[in-house]
Amino acid sequence: MTSRLELLATAIAAHPTLPREAVVKEDLLRTGIAFSPAALKLAAQFKKKAYFIFSFDLVPLAEMEKGEHWHAPEELWLEGGGWGFRPTVVSVRLNPASPYRVEAEEGAAVLRVEGEELARVKFPPVPEYYNRALASGKRVIEIAPTIEWGYLIYLTVFRICQYWGDKEECQFCDINENYRQQTRAGRPYTGVKSVEEILEALEIIASTDAASRAYTITGGSITSELKGQTEVEFYSAYAAAIEARFPNRWIGKMVAQALPKALARRYQDAGIKIYHPNYEVWDARLFRQFCPGKERSIGREEWMRRILDAGEIFGPACVIPNFVAGIEMARPDGYERVEDAIRSTAEGLEYFMSRGISPRFTTWCPEPLTTLGRANPEGAPLEYHCRLLETWRDTHARHHLAVPPGYGDPGLGRAVFSVSSFMDVISPAAPPPPALLPASGVPASV
């Protein structure tokens, strides 16, 4: 059996144009990370994993014998160490059985794989606002957590999806199962956050913080109504309230279903700058199979058409649909060979990028409470993820597209996007993103 170090060495040698930090980051994201008890103790003094939407873990909470889910940090900053890492930020996906282990040595954290030191580790500092609470007693970490090293405020305002059960839920998504396991474990986990509590949490952040530059509003799909509102009414109300109270304080982003033009325009009217109508997987057969609810209620062809239509509203650079990188190789129905999976995904990238729209991806975390995760605990091969990075980078460059806005600085050593490496591999020659905020990014009142 190939050791993890051999796997890494092979991938790095086969992909010399990829920074090896990006190769390791992808492998960490698909495999997960273990923590020694001493490292967990050290990490507990830092910014903890907030479970901002999905579990993004490789085991259920019930199997975390060391209570990792209560102490683990949101992200790791990898720098220096045995492999001389340039700064790389990676999201923490817990897996007590992972060959990647964070250890505590002489009061500092180190990332090792099979005993070999890869990098020194920094944990994210606890922001001032994480020590504050709302009048109700709810903590800011629950209502308005931040990720991407403090860049992005992540507002999952509805923690449940109305696509419900095997025949409706996307087969890679554990939003509903995660909600159940978090509440069972006793974590305060508000199912529907009110507009008022979002504003109260943002007030606290705005008065104490200068690092956050963007917010994302998201949650499960609303197929009928929630609190008497349709999906667009429900989600746009948050954006409108935030922009009325804090005009242009942050870049507003919306992750929601692909809507017809007239409805998508309502997000823009509410103040949203960037729209993420995520298409999850490009292959038509796999979309129908893996996203049965979306297929039933909207349909794959219509979904893709609406993404293009949204470009006419927000501008193509500000429509950034996500896909879940790797699910196209999920057994038993996905592609068996890496080259076939990449060919399919590259077709989707070409389709959108040739029209000025840059999709981005989240590296698939095969969560065990999902259909695809259960059948594919090892996720997609590392070779797939390396080839995807090259394909995304090269397609993006070939179409002379700008750096996607709303993700912070691009390039290795600067990128903070933590759930895939697409921002780490962007060419330094890429045109800058369109300006969506006043020049300073932060209004003078802060």
Binding flag, residue 175, ligand SF4 (CB under 6 A): yes
Kindly list the distances between the CA atom of residue 298 and the CA atoms of 68, 72, 316, 378, in Å, as whole numbers in the listed order.
39, 38, 21, 31
Question: How many CB atoms are closer than 10 A to CB 47?
Answer: 21
**How many CA atoms lie less than 13 Å away from 13 in the CB half-sphere?**
6
Give the interface size with ligand SF4 as a residue count (CB under 6 A): 8
Which of these ranges, 162-170, 189-197, 312-320, 384-392, lies near ligand SF4 under the rule CB under 6 A?
162-170
Residue 375: its H or E element = helix 371-375
Contact yes or no for 102/71 (Cβ under 8 A): no
For ligand SF4, give the closer residue by CB, 212 or 216.
216
For ligand SF4, give the closer residue by CB, 88 or 178.
178
**How many CA atoms lie less than 13 Å away from 432 in the CB half-sphere?**
5
Please give the DSSP secondary-structure letter assigned to residue 188.
-
**Rounded CA separation 33/59 (Å):** 11
**Rounded CA separation 243/227 (Å):** 22
Binding flag, residue 169, ligand SF4 (CB under 6 A): yes
CB of 144 to ligand SF4, least distance (A): 19
Contact yes or no for 28/379 (Cβ under 8 A): no
Site string for ligand SF4, 181-220 (x = CB under 6 A): ---------------------------------------x
Which of these ranges, 42-50, 163-171, 306-314, 376-384, lies near ligand SF4 under the rule CB under 6 A?
163-171
For ligand SF4, give the closer residue by CB, 362 or 418.
362
CB of 73 to ligand SF4, least distance (A): 25
For ligand SF4, give the closer residue by CB, 297 or 391.
297
Kindly list the distances between the CA atom of residue 343 and the CA atoms of 26, 334, 346, in Å, as whole numbers in the listed order.
19, 13, 5
Question: How many CB atoms are closer than 10 A to CB 337?
Answer: 11
Binding flag, residue 163, ligand SF4 (CB under 6 A): yes
Site string for ligand SF4, 221-240 (x = CB under 6 A): x-------------------
CB of 218 to ligand SF4, least distance (A): 8
For ligand SF4, give the closer residue by CB, 219 or 433.
219
Binding flag, residue 161, ligand SF4 (CB under 6 A): yes
Binding site for ligand SF4 (CB under 6 A): 161, 163, 169-170, 173, 175, 220-221
